[in-house]
A = this chain, B = another copy of it.
Amino acid sequence: MNPLYSLFNPEGIAVVGASREPTKIGHLVLKNLLEYGYKGRVYPVNPSATEILGLQCYPAVSTISGRVDVVVVSVPNVKTLEIIDDAGKAGAKHAVVITSGFKEVGNVELENELVRRARRYGMRVLGPNIFGYVYTPARINATFGPRDVIPGNVAFITQSGALGIALMGSTILEGIGISSIVSIGNKADIDDADLLEFFDEDPNTSVILIYMEGVNDGRRFVDVASRVSLRKPIIVIKSGRTEAGARAAASHTGSLAGNVALYETAFRQSGVLSVKSVEEAFDFVKTLSWNPVPEGERVVVITNGGGAGVQASDTLADDGVFLEKPPEDLATEVKKFVPSFASLANPIDLTGMAPEDWYYRSIRLALANPAVDAVLILYCHTALTSPMGVARAVAKALEEVGQRKPISVAIIGGAEAYEAIRYLTNLKIPAYPTPERAAHALAAQIRYRRYREYLVKRATAA
């Protein structure tokens, strides 16, 4: 059993510092926990209240008679040690320390003592200086972030608090389904590698996204990430890549952002997909969590606009993915319904006069063709077709053939294009507003495939 199992599947959660004051963190966390539908027992702890949000309130964790696996701590930093002692004696296994005012402001000793105390009772510490955590399979939202996280298969580990909370909201807007969000903060005890090991075994997680400023134990991270990458893609936003960024990171969490080249090498060797921006990360998450891994690198691009096709070709080439001629039989079949001047090279240009049906037919053919490994669909909103019509054509073809190959869709245009993207997103079909983003996201799948092949070879050779 993974040592963090009971953090994510606790029988009971105590919220120490629970509050009746609606703007207090201790109130917000308790409220999210109750409203998001956690099925275990929830215990507010606050010596100066008898009831909060309809629940009986306890003066201390040790006064709770039921089993408490997790203690969420939101009290002033000077009071955290006594809470740890009390919770530890009461048999709690995990302290989720939201409280800030530790290493990030120079209180190194207090932080070290926090961990020492917890260890004395066999407790693990998440944080301190965090916004809590989410685990949707157990309906846990023990954060003061947005409530309605969408359940799904993506685990998100974040070293940054405010950015992390904001990105929780972004996952909802972007339709990204979450298995877990873990605010990891100062990483005084539980670190990225510990969480990777848990998510590796977690059947509810298939993609892991990390916002990282630095790691404490680089060697262990590489070891664990190399193992996890064999089964599940890991995407890392490595913040503080530049000297200026590293300086900013140091004044933020006090973490050493470290040598950029070292990190890049470590990521590549451990099969980690390193990205530069939040947008890239989210774009990759969509293709990687909604698509199967491609069986090869033969991408076919289908477009109604030459320009979109050129932009996608450029992006794919930048990403080391090179388009080859589409399979002969695919070209022959498509030729039957497109105009004579349509290009049947790759990109296949259905021309600006292409109706929805040509999209449906060509996508269906490409998905069914054994010599095609992935399909990139580009649609420019023209006067002749509606974005929603094309989105439906994509969905229909995919449903009929079955999602055995990765696809990525660009719907370029105005408000109607935006709606069509949302429609596809709801169906878990990765869709983007520009050809470059759709191409880059699909290329991430091929990059992951290459990394994984390399890791498999290395493991076999060893």
Taking the closest CB of chain B, its distance from the CB of A213, in whole angstroms, is: 6
Contacts of A168 in B (CB 8 A): 414
A462 contacts partner chain B, Cβ-Cβ < 8 Å: no
| A173/B418 in contact, CB under 8 A | yes
Of chain B, the residue at the smallest CB distance from A346 is B248
| A305/B244 in contact, CB under 8 A | no
**Quick one: CB contact mask for A177-199 with B, threshold 8 Å, 1 for yes?**
00000000000000000000000
For chain A, the count of residues having a C-beta within 8 Å of the partner chain is 85
Residues from 270 to 307 in A contacting B, C-beta threshold 8 Å: 276-279, 304-307
Query: Which listed residue, B213, B349, B380, touches A307 by the CB 8 Å rule?
Result: B213
A413 contacts partner chain B, Cβ-Cβ < 8 Å: yes
Query: Which listed residue, B244, B306, B435, touches A323 by the CB 8 Å rule?
Result: B244
A277 CA to B283 CA, complexed, in Å: 15
| A248/B172 in contact, CB under 8 A | no
Query: Which listed residue, B160, B243, B309, B341, touches A305 by the CB 8 Å rule?
Result: B160
A167 CA to B25 CA, complexed, in Å: 44
A415 CA to B175 CA, complexed, in Å: 11
Taking the closest CB of chain B, its distance from the CB of A142, in whole angstroms, is: 14
| B172/A380 in contact, CB under 8 A | no
Query: Which listed residue, B170, B211, B239, touches A413 by the CB 8 Å rule?
Result: B170
Query: Which listed residue, B242, B243, B251, B253, touches A345 by the CB 8 Å rule?
Result: B251
A122 contacts partner chain B, Cβ-Cβ < 8 Å: no
- Stretch in A85-93, A311-319, A398-406 touching the partner: A311-319
| B434/A252 in contact, CB under 8 A | no
| B317/A162 in contact, CB under 8 A | no
- Stretch in A43-51, A381-389, A441-449 touching the partner: A381-389
| A245/B383 in contact, CB under 8 A | no
Most B-side CB within 10 Å, residue of A28, A276, A347, A382: A382
A437 contacts partner chain B, Cβ-Cβ < 8 Å: yes
Contacts of A347 in B (CB 8 A): 248
A145 contacts partner chain B, Cβ-Cβ < 8 Å: yes
A417 contacts partner chain B, Cβ-Cβ < 8 Å: yes
A55 contacts partner chain B, Cβ-Cβ < 8 Å: no
A345 CA to B250 CA, complexed, in Å: 11
A241 contacts partner chain B, Cβ-Cβ < 8 Å: yes
Taking the closest CB of chain B, its distance from the CB of A1, in whole angstroms, is: 33
15 more contacts with CB within 8 A, not counting A163-B412, A169-B413, A251-B343, are A28-B383, A146-B414, A160-B308, A161-B307, A162-B380, A163-B308, A166-B305, A169-B415, A244-B316, A248-B323, A251-B345, A252-B343, A253-B306, A257-B310, A279-B433
